[in-house]
Structure 1
């Protein structure tokens, strides 16, 4: 009999605004549904939306892409209702996908501490929330809760899921060194049979750059725009993603208005997941100076779209220059970032084609590896259970 795994997450399919965590869970279900029965409790609407998704039944379990999903209005999800849903089935594993979510992380842990729930295993994936960049935003409130959680031992017997060694170190540094932490890299779609098919004109002196991410301080679009301020080359900067923070976007617009005429910026709104690869194939370089990522699905997708990348050194994607697929750079050095943009501007068609194919092959090589699948099988098994 398969283990029953209950996933609590703020957003799930068909969300297109909530970014990488949604993709992580979709990929998890797609890759492991033969091994485990997945149940998902999530919001009935997308990030920032006031209305629920159309054509989705709410407040009942429905089948969605190899999982049973319970969509509900988060504003009406009271403590008694959540406890009732959680107790409907005897789950082997409860998998939480946020450290700070009150309803979908803190309350379930409270139920367990009060012995109202007795799963064999509880796993918490903080999804990059302990990175220095993430904790630097609303730091007073976040640090206060971390201290309270430690004091009340809210996370006693919880297994922490880190997607890489850096995230593990951040959790230990910012929360507690005496925790049980398991590393399992985020899974991707299966790209092993994908072929390189990018055909994009590249002339010296011009460049098409693409950004695909949420418009939020964490993603650091403002610095990317400021870096372009000093460029003398003909650059088109295509921006895709939901405006999650309107005041931050206003700051970005202020910079966009004073950019030199050789820089063209296009904001293209929200992009559906099935359109991402097409967009990447029509741009030369992916640009994301994020303050922190526990994985970076957009980076993985960019490489598979044949886009070499210029990213910050705050992601697991490191030492990219040694693979000749781009750079992971310090956010403290705008001049170096500008130099790498100029490098791409000056590439010829032949030089770009070679680098583009290398990016694709590297992205394909780094997609689902057997060791990652095995790590998740162990994570969701009955091993390391507590009484």
Structure 2
């Protein structure tokens, strides 16, 4: 059985969608016997960016010839029309590559999977709705309706897909969390409060939807100069400027550190140095930064807009409202916890991620989904109809 995944962009700076796709496919090739899965993507156009990975042969890169706002690519279309795979699988929505993957699969009478990556949430559909509504009527309503299966990464996403009207099979498979060897260096006992200092972290693309300013505002409500904030990420320049101005307005001075874009070992090393990671976004589909922090033993505060109630259930963090007042309450609780208690929270978080989202486990589930769609396996128990 041969499988082709497609994605509209696969640059290293592409964020969570590119990362989780690469981690999934890498794990499938490394841990699933007989897996034959390729990925089709256009080349990057940003000179400072590069295609994810290390030149693996299963990554099929065609010259980027995107044209028009719909990102139509003749090179991608030609590759798909000439291809011969048993199952097709597209990542994302609203780009021509997502539609043409589904269309070509139908023309070849092959099953196809769509992973929306949160792009069918009500909040996501409401953004630029004037563009998405005609695209739905032109292409995507049919693509969704006739999919062999849609892949949801959490219960919330599955619920939204049903509300949207999709009646077909839904595979509930979380995003994979790779455990780089370097993380073993960072999970031993460490002082979460060195010299009484509390280090609060944010990791991710800097964008207004991430509400990093609420962390700043929450800290400003607490009169404690032993609290520092480390902002890890790049993105919207105007939003980053706003954050710098907010630091000045709130009088936080040199207690806020902008570390820029981090990746690989450096990312995990910095995460491990945090007393806690904060994710105050209004909405996250899966939120890869949350398990990435937990995997190195760092507790996490995530907003109710993330699908991470497990932080409360497993006692490895806080799942709360993202108001500055709620954030301040969490910080006060952190102040009252000992380093040993914080370490125990992080250890529980790491164990939860290893048990539920380890990349090899997720890769096995995804390959089982492909086998079922190809008629080689009974329906897996994570597929809901």
- Gapped runs of 5+ residues in structure 2? 376-385
Q: Deviations over 1:228-285 (max 9, x none)?
A: 3322123211111121x22333332331221234771111111122322111121111
**Residue 307 of structure 1 corresponds to which residue in structure 2?**
298
**Residue 242 of structure 1 corresponds to which residue in structure 2?**
234
Deviation at 1:292, TM superposition (A): 2.5
SS in 1 for 2:371: coil
Q: What is the rounded CA distance, in whole Å, between the counterparts of 2:196 and 2:249 in structure 1?
A: 21
Please list, as runs of the form range in 1=range in 2, the aligned pairs for 1:1-387 lying within 5 A after superposition.
3-12=1-10, 15-33=11-29, 34-45=33-44, 50-51=46-47, 53=49, 64-65=55-56, 67-75=58-66, 79-102=73-96, 104-112=97-105, 115=107, 118=108, 120-149=110-139, 153-158=142-147, 159-173=149-163, 175-190=164-179, 194=184, 196-200=187-191, 202=193, 206-234=197-225, 235-243=227-235, 245-261=236-252, 264-331=255-322, 333-368=323-358, 372-381=362-371, 383=373
Instruction: Check conservation: 1:206, 1:233, Cα contact below 8 A.
Output: no
SS in 2 for 1:22: helix
- The size of the alignment, in residue pairs, is 364
Cα 1:109–1:323, aligned 2, differ >3 Å: closer, same or farther? closer
TM-score between the two structures when normalised by the length of structure 1: 0.83
SS in 2 for 1:380: helix
Q: Deviations over 1:89-121 (max 9, x none)?
A: 31111111011122x2123334456x3xx1521
Deviation at 1:194, TM superposition (A): 4.5
Cα 1:262–1:120, aligned 2, differ >3 Å: closer, same or farther? same
Q: What is the rounded CA distance, in whole Å, between the counterparts of 2:293 and 2:369 in structure 1?
A: 28
Q: What is the rounded CA distance, in whole Å, between the counterparts of 1:361 and 1:267 in structure 2?
A: 30
Cα 1:340–1:240, aligned 2, differ >3 Å: closer, same or farther? same
| Structure 1 vs Structure 2 CA RMSD | 3.0
Q: Deviations over 1:173-230 (max 9, x none)?
A: 2x32323322222222257995732423515864101111011233232333333332
Cα 1:213–1:336, aligned 2, differ >3 Å: closer, same or farther? same
Q: What is the rounded CA distance, in whole Å, between the counterparts of 1:139 and 1:276 in structure 2?
A: 35
Cα 1:238–1:201, aligned 2, differ >3 Å: closer, same or farther? same
Cα 1:106–1:201, aligned 2, differ >3 Å: closer, same or farther? closer
Instruction: Check conservation: 2:63, 2:75, Cα contact below 8 A.
Output: no
**Residue 59 of structure 1 corresponds to which residue in structure 2?**
none
Q: Deviations over 1:132-180 (max 9, x none)?
A: 44334334433453355466x243421211112211111222x323233
Cα 1:172–1:263, aligned 2, differ >3 Å: closer, same or farther? farther
Instruction: Check conservation: 1:293, 1:315, Cα contact below 8 A.
Output: yes
Deviation at 1:124, TM superposition (A): 0.6
Q: What is the rounded CA distance, in whole Å, between the counterparts of 2:21 and 2:359 in structure 1?
A: 17
SS in 1 for 2:247: helix
Cα 1:262–1:340, aligned 2, differ >3 Å: closer, same or farther? farther
Q: What is the rounded CA distance, in whole Å, between the counterparts of 2:298 and 2:367 in structure 1?
A: 32
Deviation at 1:313, TM superposition (A): 1.9
